[in-house]
Amino acid sequence: MSKTVLVVDDDPTQRRLIQAVLEREGFAVAHADGGRTALEHLGSGAPCDVVLLDLVMPGLSGQETLADMRSRGFTQPVIVVTATGGIDTVVQAMQAGAADFFVKPASPERIIVSIRNALSMGAMRVEVDQLKKKVGGRTTFDDLIGDSAPMQMVKRLGERAAKSSIPILITGESGVGKEVIARAVHGSSERAGRPFVTVNCGAIPENLVESILFGHEKGSFTGAHEKHLGKFQEASGGTLFLDEVGELPLDMQVKLLRALQESEIDPIGAKRPVKVDVRIVSATNRDLTTAVSEGRFREDLFYRLNVFPIEAPALRERREDVPALTEAFIRRFNLEEGKRVMGAAPETLAFLTAFDWPGNVRQLENAVYRAIILADAPYLQPHDFPAISGVKMPPPEAFDAGHRPVSVPTAQALMDTLPSDSPVRILDARGHLRTLEEIERDLIQLAIEIYSGHMSEVARRLGIGRSTLYRKVREQGLEEHIRDAG
């Protein structure tokens, strides 16, 4: 997905020049001829990822525009551009929140580097804010990525359920993001900021389930060298997320039901029960109704957990969210891996959106992670996803000096553009251009044959001197063709 740069300058010539530089690097460009027009653009919700802001403009100046942007809550990185302002003016702009500055006229390289740095810093701030929310237990439904109809339903249901302490059961296929929804429930509730504790019930050894959930006293069994509180007590005052709750053994289901009904637990080896204040959110990728009918899950526990069900949609059911998810993963892995990928090319987003994603969001996340590691171009290409696109990595010569992919047509496609009766072959058998020396040899040989070895005429037709022609004939070993033609 191309990043959009809003160019704010009262000089239309400057705007066009900058637009040419940006579009050559794959950016989308929006124009504003002054500060008020820029603020209207931002207020309309139109795409804008970074702002190039001229400081000296009639009407609302660049400094005033920047101050107004920040006061209205627009957080896009701003790069100030100046031709006459002194260093004090630039310092004031930087103090007001500008990410960078350059002096007109600036080289294309300087402009591009500045924009990419600003976008990287902006992405870093977004990721740091998200991480702070996650660590602090304050992730909300506004942080969930996706505006498709199924995700809007999830958000509406989740926000309503979060306002109470009602038990929630999140269902859906593996990898759809059930834990992210559970964190949003916690962060949108009155328990936000308190502990959010996750337990993967399917990953706990059966002989340790009771100890991990409810805790144990020191010396209560072999190997219990220290007192262990257990996940219920760790989550006291907050939320306990029971992931893959359908994997719990039946005897643990009985004890879990008692803990939910009585709001108390019995740690192993304890002399008396312990009261707990925990909000339960559980999740499963299994059909618990079938498990109940087959006797693998207790019916009374199922009804206790399934008071407020929320179904997390599969990714193939919300394809329109794939571009936003891809962009979010690119932003995160750029930060983690020290990469500077700007986004995904349009053709890449097209096939990613069309793919069925049997592994759902988790599969997309892993695919983008691998693509980030492979990427050589500013935008992810189909060949960065070979297992999905079926497109292999092109050879090194398929990239230009800026690591941008160069289109390499097939031999047949190139042959289709050439005359069918061309007597001098331009391509080799693999569809690549032959060397200039090889083509030149064939051309000289053809000219000798056409003009029956009359070297003066051959030299004239080829536009070279006779001495040069004879030298090339010797170098190419074509003397025999002169005799044959004569």
Q: Tens digits of per-residue pLDDT, 287-304?
A: 999 999 999 999 999 999
Q: What pLDDT is stored for residue 260 in this prediction?
A: 93
Judge contact between 28 and 73, C-beta under 8 A: no
**Which has the closest alpha carbon to 357: 329, 376, 398?**
329
Does position 407 have pLDDT exceeding 50, yes or no? no
- pLDDT grade, residue 234 (50/70/90)? very high
> Would you say residue 344 has pLDDT above 60?
yes
Domain range 141-313, its CATH number among 3.30.479.30, 3.40.50.300, 1.10.10.10, 3.40.190.10: 3.40.50.300
SS3 104: coil
Looking at 19-23, 90-94, 367-371, 442-446, which range is the least confident one? 90-94
Domain covering 411-485 assigned CATH 3.40.1010 in the classification: no
411 has a pLDDT exceeding 50: no
Phi, psi of 183 (to 5 degrees): -65, -35
Cα angle, residue 186 at apex, residues 183 and 188 outer, rounded to 5°: 105
420 pLDDT above the threshold of 60: no
DSSP string, 31-73: EESSHHHHHHHHHTT---SEEEEES--SSS-HHHHHHHHHHTT
Query: What percentage of the chain carries pLDDT values higher than 90?
Result: 47
What are the start and end residues of each CATH 1.10.8.60 domain in the chain? 319-398
For residue 42, give every residue at least 6 positions away whose Cβ sits within 8 Å of its Cβ, in sequence order, or none: 6, 48, 69, 72, 74, 76
Q: Which of 13, 18, 14 is nearest to 5 (CA)?
A: 18
Q: Which residues contact 10 (CB under 8 A, 6 or more apart)?
A: 33, 34, 54, 57, 58
Measure the CA–CA gap between 347 and 383, rounded to whole angstroms.
Answer: 11
Torsion sign (Cα): 149, 151, 153, 155: negative
- Lowest mean pLDDT of 16-30, 251-265, 309-323, name the range: 16-30
Q: With 0.85 as the threshold, say if the pTM is over it.
A: no
Q: Is the dihedral of CA 8, 129, 165, 287 positive or negative?
A: positive
CATH number listed for the domain at residues 4-132: 3.40.50.2300
Strand partners, 5: 29, 50
Q: Which of 27, 23, 31 is nearest to 6 (CA)?
A: 31
**CATH class of domain segment(s) 319-398:** mainly alpha
The CATH 3.40.50.2300 portion of the chain extends over 4-132
Q: Is the peptide bond before 346 cis (omega within 30 degrees of 0)?
A: no
Residue 262's pLDDT band, with cuts at 50, 70 and 90, is very high
Q: What is the mean pLDDT of the chain?
A: 86
CA distance 228 to 274: 13
Range name among 47-61, 331-345, 386-400, 403-417 with the lowest pLDDT average: 403-417
Location of structure tokens 């009766």: 421
Query: What residues does CATH 3.40.50.300 cover in the chain?
Result: 141-313
